[in-house]
């Protein structure tokens, strides 16, 4: 599992003073980018130079407790499934101050050549980076 810390910014809250629901996906993407940081050039190089991307084909979110401006979200990322051309990721967002779970996000992405938007086999370095974060099946 990989952990990323992310503060909630003022622009991310709505009129109810809680994080707008769609922003949770931004938080998850920030964590994904951080996960890829160890690759040469990080996520930016992977997508912009090598042309390898991960378009979402399915996203499920359970919203459990609000995040507010000033909170810090702890985002735990686990790889549920590491296929040949797809990855299933699970993000658990928790408020750092009190340990309350805020959301659980499950995302399926397809490894793609961005120029053609066509699926490709997962590059070896991407597989090697993700494999240590493969979650054990729950009993």
Instruction: Convert the pLDDT of each residue in 17-31 to its tens digit.
Output: 999 999 999 999 999
Please say whether the dihedral angle defined by the alpha carbons of residues 40, 42, 43 and 45, taken in this order, is positive or negative: negative
Q: Give the CA-trace dihedral at 92, 34, 117, 123, to 10 degrees.
A: -100
pLDDT (average), residues 63-85: 97
Which are the contacts of 99, defined by CB distance < 8 A and separation ≥ 6? none
CATH 3.10.129.10 correct for 2-133:
yes
What is the tens place of the pLDDT at every residue in 93-111? 999 999 999 999 999 999 9
The side-by-side arrangement of strands in the sheet containing 112-113 is 52-53, 112-113, 118-119
The residues spanned by each domain of the chain are 2-133
The most distant pair of C-alpha atoms in the chain lies apart, rounded to whole Å, by 45
pLDDT, residue 139, reads 46
Q: What is the pTM of this model?
A: 0.94
pLDDT, residue 137, reads 66
């Amino acid at each position: 599992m990989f952990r990323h810390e992310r503060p909630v910014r003022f622009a991310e809250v709505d009129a109810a003073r809680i994080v707008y629901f769609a922003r949770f996906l931004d938080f998850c993407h920030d964590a994904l980018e951080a996960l890829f940081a160890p690759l040469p050039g990080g996520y930016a190089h992977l997508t912009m130079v090598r042309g390898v991307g991960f378009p979402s084909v399915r996203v499920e979110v359970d919203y459990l407790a609000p995040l507010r401006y000033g909170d810090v979200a702890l985002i735990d990322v686990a790889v549920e499934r590491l296929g040949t051309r797809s990855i299933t990721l699970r993000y658990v967002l928790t408020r750092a101050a009190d340990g309350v779970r805020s959301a659980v996000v499950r995302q399926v992405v397809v490894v793609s050549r961005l120029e053609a938007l066509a699926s490709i086999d997962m590059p070896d370095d991407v597989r090697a980076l993700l494999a240590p974060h493969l979650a054990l099946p729950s009993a």
